Structure 1
Amino acid sequence: MASVKVRFRELSVDGETGCLYYQVICRRIVRQVYTNYRILKSEWDTTTKTIKASFVNEGIGTREEYLRFVCRRVNLELSRFHRIVVSLDNGLQACTADDIVRRFEQATVEQSLPCFMRGIIAQLKLVGKCRTSETYKATLNSLIRFAGENTILDEIDSDFMMGYEAYLKSRQISMNTVSFYMRVLRAVYNRAVEKGLTVQKYPFRHVYTGIGKTVKRGMSITYVRKIKELSLPCNSALDFARDIFMFSFYTRGMSFVDIAYLKKSDLKDGILTYKRRKTGQQLIIKWEKCMQEIINKYPQNVTEYLLPIIRYPENKRKQYDTALHLVNSQLKRIAVQIRLPIKLTTYVARHSWAGVAKSNNIPLSVISEGMGHDSESTTKIYLASLDTSVIDKANELILKSI
């Protein structure tokens, strides 16, 4: 029977970090697998052959967090060694220390969760789903901070995910964000299962993947009027931010990314037609006077786009990101001027339209109640079944109220 133990190799220079390595012994043959984990001699318990519990369980700070990370990685990799040893011992041929090391290194490369996930992120970018790729990348970065680059797919089980959830909670991450990360990872994991890269262990059954109610983001029609009537310098960044916000409200809460990519050709015969970049769903909006008034403020816009957000053919995504940051920063200043009690962003326009529609007794099936639905699928069902003239009528009622 083979054995694998973690060892610490200290340096002769005082105050320098030594490295951890694994000692693999099989049939009296010894092999060593070195890691990148570096610790001080004072942090190593020579009796238990582990990092001292005082640093792992009680310490607070960057160094202590790193040591906890190393402990997690060592435990995961020792478990990986154990699975390899068991599988080889159950085979017909006797295993050697070299077999164990080779299997360990092979799994690290071929079953790498970060590598698999980066492949998905690249595919998302290739098909134009840049925003989704960014959310996947954020999830991956969070997971790497918890478990490192060498996490393999076979290590993803219920205990692993519960440990990750506990880690996120310890960092004061909101439960909605925790759920978001979990749902992204579940999608990645299920794809790996479909490809036969790992077996289904249902690792997400004990972690939170629900969607809780978020902080109120909508505002009353009174505040919408205040924003519309606010005296701002013409052609200023504040004025532009107000125009974008009001245009979003006028167009039933159109998202900023959809506004940015609206083309002049999308407006024909008094009808604006566009596809939501998030869902691919086609929406049709009756063009109103208030919408045209905003467009008329930018006669110098000679691009193919309806509003001067994307001005050049190169680096469109960067222009969008820069404009979104600028608009939201200016909306914060507007919120201060009107003494708005909530954070003002472009997304507030969408929530506000839904809230104002509801207060005007417009049927839920017409507005799908914005953020009021418990599931996105319900919202899609309502929106997909609506006659666009009914929605246009609802929008007219809302616009008249301001």
Structure 2
Amino acid sequence: MKDLTSFTLSVVQELEDRERFGTAHVYRSALRAFQRYWKTRHPQEEIRMKKVFVAATIQEFERHLQERMLKLNTLSTYLRMLRALYNRALAAGMANYVPGLFARVYTGTRTDVKRALPPADMGRALAISPSLQQELRETQIWFALLFLLRGMPFADLARLRKCDFRNGVISYRRQKTGRQVSVQVTAEAAELLRQCADHRTNSPYLLNILWDESRYSPLGSRNEYQHYQRVLRNFNRKLKLLASALGLSGKLSSYTARHTWATTAFHTKVAVGIISNALGHSSVKVTETYLKPFENEVLDKTNKKIIAYVKRCTTC
């Protein structure tokens, strides 16, 4: 396979065979982005890998993504996927080694976007409102559980099984990293778990988030992944309505509770290593990405204080 399309699709198939549908989806998206770029530059040419993995092409692809006004993290994702394909092709002897091939394009992660809620807003989100309509009240319970269960990701909350909750402790393997995580359930969280428990005997799930008798598929299957994606999109849509109904100043998404838990822990002087373990991160570097917006905010406040101090001194 000397063309990028065939090679990428073979990688996608391998990932799907290993039930890594999320990663496979990102590879597909990156391939489509590169195909759009290639069509504008070489409409009649096949995407030969020997022409792809050269510095000029990589840098031109980045400029194409910039011209399309993509968000910086999206641009970085596509370039990182292309880099991962290059490394795979290199290992398979399908590409030549080029020193620093991706050194001059952006493959980082933008960390200046603040996703955490202020403590007052998070407090309102945790106070389950009896006046909300049933659908939004259920959404608020799910969101509150994400925070109360130590910043649990929605992908893990939705897939908790009945057997994962024993003797006041939830023990589960993270969908993203495979790490084993155990969480002591507080009395408040236990009550919310009771309120949205899935009591159907034919459902394996602890909560009433994913079970659909008409379309049940085994955990890890393609159909289960697609069903989860539909549930996730619906959850995020309802969270926007919930933020408005509660009068919150910040935006809500499935990530907000997790980022808020991490930022609050950092703000209350919890060590970054402990936060990393609590969240089940693969490394402290991932945790630092969560916390960077908060650190930048502190630095900006410090900068304003320094400027104000100097101005006061000039009037003395």
Write the mapping of 1:255-270 to structure 2, written as runs, cut at 5 A: 255-270=153-168
Higher relative contact order (CA 8 A, sep 6+): 2
Say if 1:381 and 1:329 are closer, same or farther in 2 by CA, change over 3 A.
closer
Distance (Å, rounded) in 1 between the aligned partners of 2:152 and 2:228 = 15
Answer yes or no: is 1:164 the counterpart of 2:61: yes
Q: Does 1:310 align with 2:210?
A: yes
Task: Please point out which of 1, 7, 11 is paired with 1:120.
Answer: 11
Give the residue type in structure 1 aligned to 2:179: Q
Matched, 1:325 2:233: yes
Q: Which has a greater percent of strand?
A: 1
Larger Rg: 1
1:209 corresponds to 2:107:
yes
**Corresponding position of 2:250:** 342
Task: Give the CA deviation at 1:354.
Answer: 1.0
Which residue does 1:80 correspond to in 2? none
**In the alignment, does 2:25 pair up with 1:134?**
yes
Cα distance, 1:341 vs structure 2:
3.2
290-299 or 189-198: bigger deviation? 290-299
Tell me, in whole angstroms, the C-alpha distance in 1 between the residues paired with 2:177 and 2:107: 21
Q: 1:232 to 1:332 in 2, by over 3 A?
A: farther
Looking at structure 2, the residues matched to 191 and 263 of structure 1 have their Cα atoms a distance apart, in angstroms, of 36
- Alpha-carbon deviation of 1:209? 1.3
| 1:279-294 aligned within 5 A | 279-294=177-192
Question: Is this contact kept in 2: 1:237–1:327, CA < 8 A?
Answer: no
Rounded to whole Å, the distance in 2 between the matches of 1:319 and 1:198 is 37
Distance in 1, Cα, partners of 2:62 & 2:179: 34
**Shift in alpha-carbon separation, 1:175–1:266, aligned structure 2, 3 A:** same
* Deviations 1:335-376, CA, capped at 9 Å, x for gaps: 1233333321010000100122123222222113999xxx96
Assess if the C-alpha contact under 8 Å between 1:162 and 1:206 holds in 2: yes
TM-score by length of 1: 0.63
Whether contact under 8 Å (2:146, 2:258) holds in the other structure is yes
* Alignment pair present for 1:272 and 2:163: no
Q: Is the 8 A contact 1:309 1:320 kept in 2?
A: no
Q: Find the partner of 1:247 among 110, 123, 145.
A: 145
CA shift, 1:379, in A, is 4.3
Structure 1 stretches lacking a partner, 5+ long = 1-109, 383-402
Q: Which residue of 2 aligns with 1:152?
A: 48
Measured against aligned partners, the alpha-carbon deviations of 1:229-276 in whole angstroms (never above 9, x if no partner) come to 253556722112111111110111111111111111111222211111
By percentage of residues, which structure has more helix? 2
User: Which residue of the partner structure matches residue 79 of structure 2?
Assistant: 182
Aligned residue identity for 2:142: I
Q: How many pairs align? A: 270
Please identify, of 245-254 and 334-343, the stretch whose mean Cα deviation from structure 2 is larger. 334-343
TM-score (norm 2): 0.79
For residues 149 and 209 of structure 2, the distance between their equivalents in structure 1, rounded to whole angstroms, comes to 17
Cα distance in 2 for partners of 1:259, 1:235 equals 22
Aligned match of 1:378: 284
1:113/1:153 contact within 8 Å kept? yes
Identical aligned pairs, as a percentage?
29
Q: Quote the offset at 1:175 in angstroms.
A: 2.0
Residues 273 and 284, structure 2, Cα contact 8 Å, conserved in 1: no
Q: Considering only aligned residues, what root-mean-square deviation do their CA atoms show, in Å?
A: 2.4
CA distance in 1: counterparts of 2:15 and 2:276, whole angstroms = 29
Partner of 2:199: 301
